[in-house]
Structure 1
Amino acid sequence: MAAEKKSAEVTDWAARIGWLVGLALFVALVYWLMREGWKWRGTLQGDLPELPAVPEDPGPVRLGMSGRYHGSTTAGQWLDRIVAHGLGNRSLAELTLTDAGLAVVRPGANDFFVPASRLRGARLDKGIAGKVLTEGGLLVVTWSHGDRLLDSGFRSDRAAEHGEWVDALNDMTGKTDKTETEGAR
């Protein structure tokens, strides 16, 4: 009979377990640091007042849209995400435009209302912090909150609606020239 060949022990279990524990601790540390950074950004934006609640009867509906809310940023600075009061949380959204303003209903997140007097305009854009689409794929509504101008990004389930929304919002705010509402990037 031929001599039996034995394979050498190639796995050092203690070293392998040590590497896995180290990797898990590193991932946990990175996650914790990201979470703390998010909370710190919210603290820095603590000067923003509470979001206005959606009124019981905002009046007759001019436009309605279902889609996604992609977040809010400082107006003209598409990477400066606003996280205070839940404005940084992406979610499904139902938008309703009335003469009183814009109602944003978000299941699982804070609903808010932008009174018509605070709306500053709307435009089609390709991105907002954390989301980049094709040119014109995002409805960006500019509005004032406290002493800041904010851009909030929405994407309809039917993207063909975006143009109608831009026209309606700009009519409400008195903006007729499209260059007045384009964001600076």
Structure 2
Amino acid sequence: MTPLIHLAEAAEQKSAEVTDWAGRLGWVAGLLLFVVFVYWLMRQGWKWRGSLQSDLPALPEVPEAPGEARLTLRGRYHGSTTAGQWLDRIVAHGLGLRSRAELTLTDAGITVLRPGANDFHIPAAALREARLDKGIAGKVLTEGGLLVVTWEHGDKLLDSGFRSDRAAEHAAWVEAINTLSNATTTEGIAR
């Protein structure tokens, strides 16, 4: 046979008609129900975690006059965890929601403004330390790519992770926060 005959035969062949539409639609509907169910389970888990953390007090309000800004940072807020446990995400009071963030460091502490999420303030007396790290609650970056601030809220120590749009700013923030934290401690404010 010549190649032209094979082409002619191939052109005449057609795929089989789909006749079982009910079966296919049933599978698609079943798959969609499964996806919705998994999403519902994830949401219930998030709510359950929030109810377990209901003993956490409300976040400190942003002061009207926090003072002169030492440093500012624009970037992302990646979440908060229990201090030292980088996978134990805190979801109460919106602390588990990732968002854009604008941080301002003053003598009064750190003001965190988050569009679309709750703004909060970390008082200078609550600051414990700052460090560069590589991960927090589901976000892993290169070594030193994340600014982690440890602070006390209620009777719990929290780690909050931030990433600046300009990562070179992180070192200055670590130094300034640790200086402010040490100055606050030496002025007689108990930890």
How far residue 9 of structure 1 moved from its aligned partner, in angstroms, is: 3.5
The number of residues matched between the two structures is: 172
**2:30 alignment partner, SS class:** helix
Candidates 106, 115, 126, aligned match of 1:118: 126
Aligned residue number for residue 72 of structure 1: 80
In our comparison, the structure showing a higher alpha carbon Rg is 2
Candidates 121, 129, 141, aligned match of 2:137: 129
Q: CA RMSD in A?
A: 1.4
In structure 2, distance between residues paired with 1:25 and 1:142: 42
How far residue 173 of structure 1 moved from its aligned partner, in angstroms, is: 1.2
Aligned residue number for residue 140 of structure 1: 148
Give the TM-score normalised by structure 2.
0.87
Aligned residue number for residue 55 of structure 1: 63
Identity among equivalent pairs (%): 77
How far residue 78 of structure 1 moved from its aligned partner, in angstroms, is: 0.2
Moved over 4 A (4+): 4-8
**1:30 alignment partner, SS class:** helix
Candidates 141, 144, 154, aligned match of 2:162: 154
1:81-127, CA deviations, whole angstroms, 9 ceiling, x for partnerless residues?
00000000000000000001110000100000010000000000000
Aligned residue number for residue 29 of structure 1: 37
Aligned residue number for residue 27 of structure 2: 19
**1:26 alignment partner, SS class:** helix
- Structure 2 unaligned segments of length 5 or more: list them: 1-11, 184-191
Aligned residue number for residue 43 of structure 1: 51
**2:27 alignment partner, SS class:** helix
In structure 2, distance between residues paired with 1:133 and 1:147: 29
Closer/same/farther in 2, CA of residues 147 and 19 from structure 1, 3 Å limit: same
- Structure 1 unaligned segments of length 5 or more: list them: 176-185
How far residue 8 of structure 1 moved from its aligned partner, in angstroms, is: 4.2
